[in-house]
Structure 1
Amino acid sequence: MKKLSIILNLFFLSLTYLYGQNQEEYSKIYTKTFLETSQKDYKKALRTADSLFLISETPMFKAKSLMLSATIYKQIGETKKSVEYAMKAEKIIDGVDDLWLSKIDGFLASQYRSLELFDQSLNYINKSREVIKRLNNPKIERQMMGFVMQEKAYYELGAKDYKKSIEALKKSQEYFDTSTQNDYEFLTAQNEQLFGLNYFNLKDYEKAIAYYDLALKRLDEMPDNFVKALVYNGYSEVYIDKKDLKKAKKYLDLAEGISKNIPNIELKKVIYETSQNYYLLQQDFKELSKVNLKKDSVSEQIAENSKAFIRDSYTHLENKNRDIERNVKSKNWIIFVVGFLFVAGMLFFLVYQKYQRKKFDKVNQTLKDLKRTESLKVSNIAGEVKENVKLQNDGIIADEEEPIIVSSYEKKEHSSIMTETTEIMILKKLEEFEKSAEFTRNGISLSCLASSCKTNAKYLSYIINNHKGKDFNNYINELRIHYIIEKVKKEPLYHKFKIATLAKEAGFSSQSKFSTAFKKVTAVSPSQYFQHLQSAS
């Protein structure tokens, strides 16, 4: 059936291209697949994207179809496949079409941002800017700079610099307003949703609602999509903060209704987080427990996809570095051998030349002194032997005077495992990590944290062991226990939670593991501790 579906897709799509590929028709299929089909049936959307690729005749169409697949994989949380398709597209279009190259760089910036690899994200943002400068088309430059500044806004939002994010959005919208974008309404609605989210984080609820209203007016004319779901979710967040539970539930239901029909796990995670806040405020612990399970499942899936991508990328980078190192060593060895042979050849030539000259001088001397006595000849021979011995001695002395080279490895044998700068950098990253609640994420690993700290597992393990006085697992467990204790102390609502709920909130996979870790840190069981805390209050 799958093969038949692909064949039928190819047949109907090929009718559109019977007399050559048509940019307008291609864009219609592309837009419909992205905005409609992918929101309802992502498998069908992927088949359409594959079909578009197979019938594409030019690098631009091939790259565009690959980016359609990359975008769909991004929506369903398949990070690795999404980046792979985008990089294939980048390779095809590089040197062919700067417009699409800048779009692809912008997309990769977005992917690395979602993985919280902000340096790589910023690198692709800057790369996209450089490509845009080469376009020499003011209209297209404005259009593309709108995309770049929108991605910059996402970047600043991820870094929690909401004012900078708003400034980037203003610039993005200025570019969109002066360009001739076919999907202007959708892009503007995206910006308005982001304006709303930033103002919500700044606690300016009136502006947040005003921007959500503007976005919804544009989106009402379009099929349900992830941006509309985010707008409804934004309304719900505002009304939760304002303690208006009736309106909060209304918009939360609308967001969930769209989310159920869209295979976008990042969207689901955002909505589940809002649901948690709603049910916590409602004190509906039964529903809160259900949402916690759903959110944990989605978070684990996202974390696993991200971890797999980072792990594979790290392995690829290690292999690449190993190959480079091996090639460098091979080249250095070849250079050493060639250099040695050259020097040896020159020395041999000089010695041989000297020997020949002496031999020639000796023959002339013998001819001139033909009448000399045998004793004189012996004397000449003895002189020659003496000269040869001197030559040999000269060579030995030269060899002895050559400097002894000590390898950098020997010099560093007793040095520290890392530089002081690296050590300070990792400690600073750990301090930021401890202030966040990232350690409550279920499934966090040493390699994942090392990637977040922009270092490797060996260095991070060394820092934790030497500066924190414990191994990685005990370090994370201790952070989690202190976190949940502070929660219970500061928020009386947590007194009503069961131990199992508190365990999940802290990031533990089971109540028993939580209890074991709790007792190890506090010397008492969780139930004893919380009973004492309640009696004391």
Structure 2
Amino acid sequence: MRLYQKNWRKIFFFLIIVVFARVSAQNPEEYNKIYTKTYIDISQKDFPRALKIADSLFSISETPRFKVRSLMLSASLLQQSGDIKKAIGYAVTAQQISNESDDLIWKAKISGFLATQYRQLKLFEQSKKYIDETIEATKKIKDQKIIDQTMGFIMQEKAYYELEMKDYTKSISYVLEAQRYFDLNGQTNPFIFANNNQLLGLNYYYLKEYDKALGYYDIALKNLGQMPDNFMKALVINGIARIFIAKKDVGQAKKRLDEAKRLAEESSYLSLKSEIYETSQEYYSLIKDIDKLQETKVKQDSIIDKIETNSSSFISASVSKLIKNNDDIKKETEKKNIAIWIALLLIISGIVYFFLYRRKQKDNFNKFKQFMENQIKTQDLNFEIPPNNIDNELHHETNYDNRSEGSEQNTMMTPATEKKILLKLEKFEQSKLFTRSTVSLPYLASYCNTNTKYLSYVVNTYKKKDFKNYINELRIKYIIDKLKNDPQYHKYKISTLAEEVGFSSQSKFAAAFRKITELSPSQFIEHLKKSSNFQAK
């Protein structure tokens, strides 16, 4: 019957907690009361019950923020009990929820918590990474009071890190910086101030400034005031005991140590127990109680083994997995970012290419237009050469006498011979003989009834080019004329056009075409088509 009553009381009490939590969890003020009482008071006296309350808070939470807070309450409790693996697991789950809801405040808090866990595991690189994440999240928060509060916690974490590194002066500077931020925030939570003063006391203890350390510990006890017994109070009293041990004040040391032991025995906080056992060994060493010293050492070793087992298990089984997951997420994010940048570059490249292409097209069309205008204006560019007759001979004679200054007169050639060669060339230009692939300087000299020397002289002097370029120009002008006047030629391949006018290869034809028109054959045909369509309209 008594057992039934005992079990019923437990069930009834749990139901009350759940119902109270359901009503209160959605109200920030009421939720904070449950959270604080569970974390500071209940966890000290009944750890399993505290965990159940935290789980209940999560099950009835209706918003991401309350879910995250309940998960972080569980994580904090599990961290105290030494179950690092579960503590970080809860924190990572909370982090995922906060990421989905884009809750910057809790992003910062969770990153700070993870920084602490990895620091305690001596994984300082991971710890620094989470501190950096906390700072980055804090930069995006708009509420200055929350920024100040978060920065205060960051400074506290940095102080703990420097304490681990045995740089006590630097640790003190971070504690004071944390206090400055809390003052800016208007912080009134006595637990936070007690934590700061406990940290200052511990640093000054290690610096052997015992009176200063004792002063800060006394302030910490005043901060805690009428709060229920908790692990912070135990740490403060333990710190005072260590100072009296250092001062060899056995009476005061025993009084404080006994009180700290009582609080530690009630707690599931493994690190706290280890600290108390460490101080106990210092005390028993002072009073030379070897048996008690050995007994306490065994107890501490047992606690340390448990902490290290949990830590080692986590490091070997979980950290590598978490780091891999984080790396995978990072790589996936990097891939997405790379894909986005590639897409942007392609778009930008496409736009640039489009404008450059349009500009090139415009330039090409201007070149085409200029060429066509010059062809109309300049006889040299017009393939329609007037027939050779007597009426034009005077015209030719006039032109022949207007040779450019500086052209060296071939004294072996008479003006009559020059005229005859020029008339023959005119006849040659009106023919299609230049389209033959076999045409050569000797062939044309034979056609003009002269020798190659005279012919070269006349071509160079009057046509202002060498034989090869002279023939190429005739061929290109001929094919342009065909393209202009016969649309059928637009359908021919470039190689066919090249073959028709006697070029041995398409590349030579294209090079000669570009030299004369500044356009490739295909570009010229494209603009010619556009021009023809425009005129047709």
Partner in structure 1 of residue 234 of structure 2: 229
Partner in structure 2 of residue 444 of structure 1: none
In the alignment, the residues of structure 1 paired with residue 327 and residue 24 of structure 2 have an alpha-carbon distance, to the nearest angstrom, of: 50
Contact 2:84 2:310 in 1 (8 A): yes
Partner in structure 2 of residue 451 of structure 1: none
In the alignment, the residues of structure 2 paired with residue 295 and residue 200 of structure 1 have an alpha-carbon distance, to the nearest angstrom, of: 22
Letter in 1 for 2:234: A
Match of 2:18 among 13, 35, 46: 13
In the alignment, the residues of structure 1 paired with residue 109 and residue 326 of structure 2 have an alpha-carbon distance, to the nearest angstrom, of: 29
Contact 2:75 2:91 in 1 (8 A): yes
Match of 1:135 among 141, 148, 166: 141
Partner in structure 2 of residue 173 of structure 1: 179
Gap change, CA 1:80 and 1:321, over 3 Å in 2: closer
Matched, 1:286 2:291: yes
Identity %: 49
Match of 1:267 among 269, 272, 282: 272
Superposed, 1:174-213 pairs within 5 Å as: 174-181=180-187, 184-213=189-218
Partner in structure 2 of residue 152 of structure 1: 158
Query: Secondary structure, in 3 states, of the residue corresponding to 2:228?
Result: coil
Query: Secondary structure, in 3 states, of the residue corresponding to 1:57?
Result: coil
How far off is 1:181 after superposition?
3.4
In the alignment, the residues of structure 2 paired with residue 287 and residue 124 of structure 1 have an alpha-carbon distance, to the nearest angstrom, of: 42
In the alignment, the residues of structure 2 paired with residue 229 and residue 149 of structure 1 have an alpha-carbon distance, to the nearest angstrom, of: 23
Looking at CA atoms only, which structure, 1 or 2, has the larger radius of gyration? 2
Match of 1:246 among 248, 251, 257: 251
How far off is 1:302 after superposition?
0.5
Letter in 1 for 2:211: E
Q: How big is each residue's C-alpha offset from its partner over 1:156-198, in whole Å with a ceiling of 9 and x where there is no partner?
A: 111111011000000100111121435x211001000000000
Contact 1:193 1:211 in 2 (8 A): yes
How far off is 1:257 after superposition?
1.1
In the alignment, the residues of structure 1 paired with residue 255 and residue 13 of structure 2 have an alpha-carbon distance, to the nearest angstrom, of: 42
How far off is 1:40 after superposition?
0.6
Gap change, CA 1:175 and 1:286, over 3 Å in 2: same
Q: How big is each residue's C-alpha offset from its partner over 1:480-501, in whole Å with a ceiling of 9 and x where there is no partner?
A: xxxxxxxxxxxxxxxxxxxxxx
Gap change, CA 1:59 and 1:298, over 3 Å in 2: same
Superposed, 1:415-430 pairs within 5 Å as: none
* Farther-moved stretch of structure 1 (156-165 vs 9-18): 9-18
Gap change, CA 1:3 and 1:46, over 3 Å in 2: farther
Gap change, CA 1:322 and 1:71, over 3 Å in 2: closer
Query: Secondary structure, in 3 states, of the residue corresponding to 1:181?
Result: coil
Compute the TM-score of the two structures, normalised by the length of structure 2.
Answer: 0.57
Q: How big is each residue's C-alpha offset from its partner over 1:201-259, in whole Å with a ceiling of 9 and x where there is no partner?
A: 01111110110110111113111111111111111111111222221111111111111
Letter in 2 for 1:195: L
Partner in structure 2 of residue 393 of structure 1: none
Gap change, CA 1:320 and 1:226, over 3 Å in 2: closer
Partner in structure 2 of residue 62 of structure 1: 67
Matched, 1:98 2:104: yes
How far off is 1:318 after superposition?
8.7
Gap change, CA 1:79 and 1:3, over 3 Å in 2: farther
Gap change, CA 1:173 and 1:19, over 3 Å in 2: closer
In the alignment, the residues of structure 1 paired with residue 141 and residue 267 of structure 2 have an alpha-carbon distance, to the nearest angstrom, of: 36
Contact 1:6 1:47 in 2 (8 A): no
Query: Secondary structure, in 3 states, of the residue corresponding to 2:185?
Result: coil
In the alignment, the residues of structure 2 paired with residue 180 and residue 168 of structure 1 have an alpha-carbon distance, to the nearest angstrom, of: 18
Partner in structure 2 of residue 116 of structure 1: 122
Contact 2:21 2:57 in 1 (8 A): no
Contact 2:22 2:57 in 1 (8 A): no
Partner in structure 2 of residue 78 of structure 1: 83
Letter in 2 for 1:80: K
Gap change, CA 1:15 and 1:208, over 3 Å in 2: closer
Gaps of 5+ in 1: 328-537
In the alignment, the residues of structure 1 paired with residue 322 and residue 251 of structure 2 have an alpha-carbon distance, to the nearest angstrom, of: 52
Matched, 1:37 2:42: yes
Contact 1:9 1:51 in 2 (8 A): no
Contact 2:85 2:318 in 1 (8 A): no
In the alignment, the residues of structure 2 paired with residue 73 and residue 100 of structure 1 have an alpha-carbon distance, to the nearest angstrom, of: 19
Letter in 1 for 2:191: F
Gap change, CA 1:5 and 1:54, over 3 Å in 2: farther
Match of 1:164 among 143, 159, 170: 170
Letter in 2 for 1:156: E
Partner in structure 2 of residue 311 of structure 1: 316
In the alignment, the residues of structure 2 paired with residue 240 and residue 199 of structure 1 have an alpha-carbon distance, to the nearest angstrom, of: 15
In the alignment, the residues of structure 2 paired with residue 293 and residue 39 of structure 1 have an alpha-carbon distance, to the nearest angstrom, of: 24
Letter in 2 for 1:122: K
Letter in 2 for 1:114: Q
Match of 1:220 among 216, 220, 225: 225
Gap change, CA 1:114 and 1:312, over 3 Å in 2: same
Gap change, CA 1:125 and 1:286, over 3 Å in 2: same
How far off is 1:313 after superposition?
2.4
In the alignment, the residues of structure 2 paired with residue 26 and residue 283 of structure 1 have an alpha-carbon distance, to the nearest angstrom, of: 50
Gap change, CA 1:215 and 1:62, over 3 Å in 2: same
Query: How many residue pairs were aligned?
Result: 327
Gap change, CA 1:16 and 1:50, over 3 Å in 2: closer
In the alignment, the residues of structure 1 paired with residue 92 and residue 114 of structure 2 have an alpha-carbon distance, to the nearest angstrom, of: 8
What is the CA RMSD across the aligned residues, in angstroms? 2.8
* Farther-moved stretch of structure 1 (62-71 vs 248-257): 248-257
Gaps of 5+ in 2: 1-5, 333-537
How far off is 1:316 after superposition?
2.1
In the alignment, the residues of structure 2 paired with residue 297 and residue 278 of structure 1 have an alpha-carbon distance, to the nearest angstrom, of: 19
Contact 1:6 1:51 in 2 (8 A): no
In the alignment, the residues of structure 2 paired with residue 91 and residue 321 of structure 1 have an alpha-carbon distance, to the nearest angstrom, of: 12
Match of 1:276 among 277, 281, 287: 281
Contact 2:25 2:57 in 1 (8 A): no
Q: How big is each residue's C-alpha offset from its partner over 1:309-351, in whole Å with a ceiling of 9 and x where there is no partner?
A: 0011255269769999xx9xxxxxxxxxxxxxxxxxxxxxxxx
Letter in 2 for 1:126: D
Match of 1:52 among 57, 63, 67: 57
In the alignment, the residues of structure 1 paired with residue 183 and residue 256 of structure 2 have an alpha-carbon distance, to the nearest angstrom, of: 30
Runs of at least 4 residues of structure 1 off by over 3 A?
1-20, 317-324
In the alignment, the residues of structure 2 paired with residue 12 and residue 200 of structure 1 have an alpha-carbon distance, to the nearest angstrom, of: 42
Query: Secondary structure, in 3 states, of the residue corresponding to 1:178?
Result: helix
